[in-house]
Structure 1
Amino acid sequence: MRRFSTAELGRYLLTGQLNRRGCLHTRPPRVLAIAAISQITPSRTFTSQVETSTTSTSTSIPPNSIPLRKQLKDEAKALKASGKKKKKKADNQTVPGWELTVGIEIHAQLNTARKLFSPAATSFNDKPNSHVALFDVAMPGSQPLFQPETLIPAVRAALALECEIQPVSRFDRKHYFHWDQPSGYQITQYYHPFARDGRIVLGARDGIAPEDGDRVEIGIKQVQMEQDTAKTTAQPGDVHWLDFNRVGLPLVEIITLPQIHHPATAAALVRKVQMLLAAVDACVLGMEAGGLRADVNVSVRRTADGDTAPLGTRTEIKNLSSFKAVEDAIIAERDRQIAVLEAGGVVEGETRGWSLGSTETRRLRGKEGEVDYRYMPDPDLGPVVIGEDLVGHLASSLGVLPDAEIDELVGTCGLSPKDALSLMTLDDGARVEYFYNVLDALEDRLGLASDAESDHRDALLAANWCLHELGKLTELSSDLGMTPDGECGVPSADLAAILSHLHRREITAKVAKDLLWGVFRREITAGGVTQTIDAGNLWFKELSEQEYEELADEVVAGEDKVLAEFLRFKQGKAKAFPQGKLMFLVGKMMRAGTEQRMDPASAERVLRARLENVYLPEAEAR
């Protein structure tokens, strides 16, 4: 084999240009860097200038392409026309006669300033190819230089998973050839990882399958450090753009034991791992932002074969990027394997893919094994030695973990487990910090001591608005601008000011929602909530008891059929109180009166009293 010049190798690695002389395949897929790397800076990183493809196919859409939304609609119509009904996930956790076994590999980007083996800065949203060192693109003569600071978040992640930190770990080369890996191998810790033998405990509130009961424990085989690959963006016309900013970013790969037997539990585990990594500041980007990806290994076997029978042939589904995708892909692959076996076929060990909105997995390639990857110790990197003093210091500074945090939210603040879990998971954990900021400011305004016993009304009010009302803002703007310390486009102090007036019944819920929109749109300046209420004369001046009673009399008049329903309940002829009819009358009262002066709770109280004391006795007398 002839030797290639450095210039020729550079053209191939950086711009995808390949000398076709002597090649058997004359039309290789064109791989273009998003930005051409043009010069080397003194810091040994590359700067970039934007390069655009000169071909028309990079900007045109193939004539046969169909929008994803239309594909999903067509699939839904076809399913409806076939008369088949899609099973609900709650009813789709098991298949009679079969046992599912799942193991998961989770790749999480560590929260570090530098890459794993080069001094280039980590980058998530910067200009493509603007943070690339010589070693990142395997320039001849470049050597890996382990960055010790990447070890800190990795150890914190392993400790959160209750792993045993190994005093000595080593790096290996995992060989494979793809355009997203310039060197032709990935550096990982296959044989000697830095952490082993951990566990993660999942409860019913984490969303595990009902078949798993109240608690399930999943073992963590090992946690290893490895480098990420380039980011590939597919374009029309068989063109792929590469961003080498992601090459060499430090990852931890968390490998579970094959102890998961239900799809919902698998999704719950990935969600719990994301919460744990965010809580210890090991990984600041979740699945939604692309900072965490999951590969699932799926196999099935007949329950009649017994627990001692070997597991079935496993397939791997790569790069699942949402909790829903984890559960849906496992269900689809489980059903596919069962169908193959029931038809007398054989399940092949292979790597498969999953797309949003799919109903089945698709084959990508044959499954590589240890021999295919040709693992070998990396000769350019020495062992990593982790001292007990470092482990002890990091263990003592982990802070509050998610389970303890949820217990606090449920026990001290009175939240439901579902709301507590939602606060913990939204915005990569920043929403719960925002809630605490709002609650502290609200208690200050109300003059409440944070450690005093209360009915939790203030905490429940703050949680409801932080979850639901704030969530409605994202229907028009997907980004609240939430920061890790719990601030966003609606300052916590302004939301606390709105809620303090609402808590004291000084404004109505409608006015409070209007004020929230005003703050979000920056129509109300920071700290100007009370002044806005004054300027608009928006203070709540509630109707008197007599005025409520007059409205109640007005709406009840002519509603003989509705009154008959209440009378049937009072006489024991109906089992349930007609709450829907009562709220129908309350709605009529709210529409008949002045909304800015009415409280729905007061309207319901007065109406209920009028029914019991006036109208129902009169109806019985008749």
Structure 2
Amino acid sequence: MLNFVPGLQIPKSFYMAARPIGGPIAGAWQTKRLFVCHIFRSLQTSHTTGEIVVPFGKQLKDEAKKKRQYGESKSSRKASKGADPRLEKWELTVGIEIHAELNTARKLFSSAATSINAAPNSHVSLVDVAFPGSQPEFQKETLIPALRAAIALNCDIQRKSSFDRKHYFYQDQPAGYQITQFYEPFAKDGSITLYDHDGIAPEDGQSITIGIKQIQMEQDTAKTVQQPPTTHLLDFNRVSHPLIEVITLPHIHHPSTAAACVRKIQSILRSMNAVTAGMEEGGLRADVNVSVRERHKELPEDAAKSYYGVTGLGQRTEIKNLSSFKAVEDAIIAERDRQIDVLENGGVIEGETRGWTLGSTETKRLRGKEGEIDYRYMPDPDLNVVVIGQELESYLRETLPKSPSQLADVLCDSDGYGLTMFDAKKLVALDREDRLDYYMDVVHLLRQSLSDKEQAISKVGKIAANWVLNDLDSLLTTVEGSWSASAITAQTLCDIIVPLTRREITRATANSLIDKILAGDAREVHQIISEENLALVPLSDGDYLRMATDLVEANPDIVKAIQVKRQKGKIGWFVGQMMKTGEEGRIEAARAERALKNVLEVE
């Protein structure tokens, strides 16, 4: 039995299934009546729009299955053969709409808690299911993460914004309309700059700035779970989960740049703690608007289109609900190629909404494109305007965390950490696991422990990154199953790196110290080194030369490969053998390599 109170609780085993009956308005009221009458049965429905939310794991499995069944897509085959020569004639234009779930405790217009993995229909209020007489109430705290996102994307915050009703009738929208910000969004006129290391197309050069028309708040719809062949179950937990929609200007002309844009916006939203999850977990979805036009040729007045102030564009189509960066790139390529094929064969591009399935070779028509007039936007009469004070905006700007790009720049600064952009981006990407904080703690401790001269010689920033990103990562993943800063604390790692830097222990000994600590040895690092006689007792140059000579004489085939075939990588095999056969903890790899090169007479 349902209890009609705020925070409506529905039995865990219950899923709501609904079917529009007798036209649009009747369909909306039928959905409500199903709740009122407590009808807990699955109804059969024919799905016409194609906008079913499929679990991400299932999408990946479907993609792999289709790739095995059909092989590479057309776009992949074209890419392997080189650039499509038709692109010299036709120009692609892309605009993106990104829908991201905000990280909030409450829903946008009700006191029900937001939830991701809760039991179906366990967090639903009367407003969420459009119970007659219930009214939405804007939850002001949901605005904070939205503002952080907008500021990070360089938007102008609007002092006054308002909510509108976007009317459409479908089973996942019980009210028959979605509450959004169409006329007066809370943020406008932003921008995002992408660089070559972000993965943009080479044609875009070292950087490209993409305009952001606006960011608006809106409510999410119910989650539709498909049960083939014709049953669709509805989970209303997601109804009214706060979303932001980030709308870019059509400044993108390459599929890889579009994917890079979505990836970077997701990274920024995550770094601001503005969103619950990324594309991989289903917390962010992208729609792309795609059009092509002939280069250096003006379209006739009756054919030229204007899209957010950019004129002369071809007719655009929209591809809905893309749930991975690869899907964004592949869907754009497929739709671009389809439109070029149509135009070159004398056809006309229709304004329509299309769908994309992972692993597909082409987009699929879902429905004719609904224009603004079809949605009958109108100001929501139940909600007041939202007024944002300057003090709140100033406070958020002052307390905003660094963006991923800013963090990467700090890590790459030669006067700071001196990392490569590759390592910097990898550390920033792992920030959600607290790996970046851990790395910075290690560097800070090393700088306190080593002299200025030792720091300059050892380049502590790079040494720490190598341990955190490579050695320690693989060790901890093997032992713990996932990253854990508590397994090897920053101080413990520092205590291992310092004697290694001073050549008081070998790298092999450092690895054995890590193994002992992971196995539960509670002693301090210096105690283990002292009590187990692990301190390095250096060999003489003569000792290294004798060991190298013995190895070289015993392996003439490998010597021939190095000296005649110039396979210098095999010197590493000799180094490994020296470390294996020598006294444990006494062989230094660098000195062993120098001795071997001397004996082999190679540079």
| Alpha-carbon distance in structure 1 between the residues aligned to 2:531 and 2:86 | 61
1:435 to 425, 435, 439: 439
Partner of 1:243: 235
The answer to whether the aligner puts 1:392 opposite 2:394 as a matched pair is yes
Q: CA deviation at 1:306?
A: 5.2
Matched, 1:220 2:224: no
Q: Quick one: distance in 2 between partners of 1:534 and 1:554?
A: 32
**CA displacement at 1:324 relative to structure 2:** 2.4
Does the alignment pair 1:188 with 2:180? yes
* Letter in structure 1 aligned against 2:330: D
Q: For 1:89-120, what per-residue CA distance to the aligned partner results, in whole angstroms no more than 9, with x for missing partners?
A: 99579922111111011112222222111112
SS at match of 2:87: coil
TM superposition shift of 1:594: 5.6
**Which residue in the other structure is 2:51 paired with?**
none
- Work out the CA distance in 1 between the residues paired with 2:149 and 2:113: 21
Post-superposition offset of 1:149: 1.0
Q: Which amino acid aligns with 1:176?
A: Y
Aligned partners of 1:378, 1:81: CA distance in 2, in Å? 45
Question: Can you list the C-alpha shifts for 1:44-77, whole angstroms capped at 9, x where unaligned?
Answer: xxxxxxx99899xxxxxxxxxx997697367457
Kept in 2: contact 1:93–1:209 (CA 8 A): no
- Establish whether residue 109 from structure 1 lines up as the match of residue 101 from structure 2: yes
**TM-score, with normalisation over the residues of structure 2?**
0.79
Q: 1:275 to 1:16 in 2, by over 3 A?
A: closer
Aligned residues: 558
The change in CA–CA distance for 1:367 and 1:562 in structure 2 (over 3 A counts) is: same
Query: Quick check: 392-401 or 144-153, which moved more?
Result: 392-401
Tell me whether 148-157 or 579-588 shows the greater mean CA deviation. Answer: 579-588
CA distance in 1, matches of 2:324, 2:467: 25
Q: State whether residues 72 and 357 of structure 1, in contact with CA within 8 Å, keep that contact through their aligned partners in structure 2.
A: yes
Please give the alpha-carbon distance, in whole angstroms, between the structure 2 residues aligned to 1:229 and 1:258. 26
- Matched residues in 1 for 2:329 and 2:249: separation? 18
- Other-structure match for 2:546: 550
Q: Residue 264 of structure 2 aligns to a residue in which SS?
A: helix
Q: Distance in 2 between matches of 1:458 and 1:97?
A: 52
User: What residue is the counterpart of 1:46 in the other structure?
Assistant: none
- Specify the SS of the correspondent of 2:456: coil
Structure-1 separation of matches of 2:250 and 2:195? 18
Of 149-158 and 527-536, deviating more is 527-536
Which has the higher relative contact order, 1 or 2, with Cα contacts under 8 A spaced 6 or more apart? 2
Question: How far apart are the structure 2 equivalents of 1:92 and 1:134?
Answer: 54
Structure 1 residues 17-69: Cα deviation after superposition (integer angstroms, max 9, x where no partner): 6699x879xxx9xx99xxx999x9xxxxxxxxxx99899xxxxxxxxxx9976
Measured after TM superposition, the shift of residue 203 of structure 1 is 1.7
User: Residue in 2 aligned with 1:151?
Assistant: 143
In the alignment, the residues of structure 2 paired with residue 103 and residue 374 of structure 1 have an alpha-carbon distance, to the nearest angstrom, of 23
Residue 43 of structure 1 aligns with which residue?
Answer: none
Indicate the larger mover: 181-190 or 237-246. 237-246
Is the Cα contact below 8 Å between 1:329 and 1:361 reproduced in 2? yes
| Higher mean C-alpha displacement, 259-268 vs 316-325 | 316-325
- The residue that corresponds to 1:341 in the other structure is 343
1:549 maps to amino acid? L
One of 104, 107, 118 as aligned partner of 2:110? 118
Q: Which of residues 131, 143, 148 is equivalent to 2:123?
A: 131
Structure 1 residue 194: Cα displacement: 0.7
Q: Quote the Cα distance in structure 2 between the aligned partners of 1:235 and 1:499.
A: 56
**In 2: Cα distance, 1:97 partner to 1:108 partner:** 36
Identity across matched positions, percent: 51
Task: Quote the Cα distance in structure 2 between the aligned partners of 1:98 and 1:356.
Answer: 26
How far the C-alpha of 1:553 sits from its partner, in A, is 0.8
Structure 2: unaligned runs, 5 residues or longer: 45-57, 305-311
Q: Which moved more, 1:163-172 or 1:307-316?
A: 307-316
Alpha-carbon deviation of 1:225? 0.6
Whole-Å separation in 1 of the counterparts to 2:476 and 2:360: 26
SS in 2 for 1:178: coil
Question: What is the one-letter code of the residue matched to 1:553?
Answer: T
CA change 1:437–1:512 in 2 (3 A) is: same
Cα offset, 1:516, TM superposition: 5.5
**Rounded Cα–Cα distance in structure 2 between residues aligned with 1:439 and 1:361:** 49
Instruction: From the superposition, tell whether residues 355 and 523 of structure 1 become closer, same or farther in structure 2 (CA, over 3 Å).
Output: farther
Q: Distance in 1 between matches of 2:217 and 2:372?
A: 18
Q: Paired residue for 1:95?
A: 87
Shift in alpha-carbon separation, 1:121–1:541, aligned structure 2, 3 A: farther
Q: 217-226 vs 464-473, which deviates more?
A: 464-473
Corresponding residue of 2:192: 200
> Which stretch of structure 1 is more off in the superposition, 403-412 or 489-498?
489-498
Aligned residue number for residue 430 of structure 2: 426
Q: Secondary structure at the match of 1:305?
A: coil
Map of 2:404 onto structure 1? 402
- The alignment yields a C-alpha RMSD, in angstroms, of 4.3
After TM superposition, the structure 1 = structure 2 runs for residues 304-323 of structure 1, keeping only pairs within 5 Å, are 304-305=296-297, 310-323=312-325
- Contact preservation (8 Å) 1:438, 1:493: yes
Find the aligned partners of 2:173 and 2:149 in 1 and give their Cα distance. 26
User: Normalising to structure 1: TM-score of the pair?
Assistant: 0.77
Residue equivalent to 1:620: none
- 1:301-356 Cα shifts (integer Å, max 9, x gaps): 12142599621221222222222222222222212222222233332222222333
In the TM superposition, what is the alpha-carbon distance from 1:567 to its structure 2 partner? 6.8
Structure 1: distance between partners of 2:428 and 2:247: 24
The one-letter amino acid of 1:599's match is E
The Cα offsets for residues 437-494 of structure 1, whole Å up to 9 and x where unpaired, read as 34334445x3468x99735632212222333345546977997367xxxx57665455
Gaps of 5+ in 1: 1-5, 41-50, 56-65, 569-573, 617-622
| 1:58 corresponding residue in structure 2 | none
Cα separation, 2, equivalents of 1:370 and 1:415: 49
Deviation at 1:229, TM superposition (A): 1.7
Correspondent of 1:326 among 318, 325, 328? 328
Distance 1:455 1:86 in 2: 49
Cα distance 1:355–1:67, how it changes in 2: closer, same or farther (>3 A)?
Answer: closer
- Separation (CA, whole Å) in 2 of partners of 1:69 and 1:356: 9
CA contact (8 A) 1:332 1:361 kept: yes
The 8 Å contact of residues 284 and 428 in structure 1, kept in 2 or not, is answered as no
